[in-house]
Amino acid sequence: MTDISTFSTIAEITVSIHSKRISPVEIVDAHLRRIESLQPKLNAFVHLDAGAARAQARAAEAAVTQNQLLGPLHGVPLTVKCCIDVAGWPCPAGSLLRKDYIPRADAPLVSRLKAAGAIFLGNTNTPEFLMAYETNNLLNGKTSNPWNLAYSSGGSSGGEAAAIAAGCSMGGVGSDGGGSIRVPAHFCGICGLKPTPGRISSTGHFPSGAGAFGWIGVVGHGTHSGIYPRRFDSDRSLAGLRQHARTGG
């Protein structure tokens, strides 16, 4: 196995997994360790399903070992905004009124990403009902900007942007009507894409039937490295968070 980084691109990771140079177990564990270290500072996650992610990573590793047909995102750890349904996970959309809502089925986009081999780590914070350019709410609290913890991560996909920028996720799914992907991506120094309306199914998104205010899109580190792209310049630091992760401070 070779060295891996939570700041590697998805293209790099998928090539390495398909060629057996790294294991899905290694890359998922690296991200979970990163989350464990940084979540207390960032508060990017609403729900983390580490046990299921590790089990899926072991199954993905077995598929590689057995030379099975692999999907384009096989073993890639992703995250999703907490207004998009994932079966069995809380989906509060930042509101106390939805704190007990647990979807029974995945949103179509989530199902398609899983079918492509992606491993979902958890879902991420958003302002109440997605209605703010800062990610803060009475249910889960404020998500901080990984470049400076005193600053906002933006909204409403602020949890996604903070998690990806901090190396806690390789890429993610948000939603955007008036900038809810693009603004937090800008705040956190990554890339956010609002796709052509209707290009990605919005079934399973809250609020439903939101039209132009509920288009689902992607969040990542750049536009040059494949599906859900992400890259990070190695000579930059994230408000000391890399040092925190190394030292446990």
- Catalytic residue positions, numbered: 81, 156, 180
Alpha carbon separation from 142 to 37, 39, 88, 167 (Å, rounded): 17, 12, 24, 19
Name the token pair of 198: 């209707």
Q: Which amino acid is at 61?
A: E
Strands of the sheet with 191-193, listed across from one edge = 45-48, 119-124, 77-81, 172-176, 215-220, 191-193
Computed over its alpha carbons, how large is the radius of gyration of the chain?
17
Rounded distance, CA 150 to CA 172, Å?
A: 24
Choose among 5, 35, 36, 39: nearest CA to 22. 5
Choose among 141, 128, 135: nearest CA to 161. 135
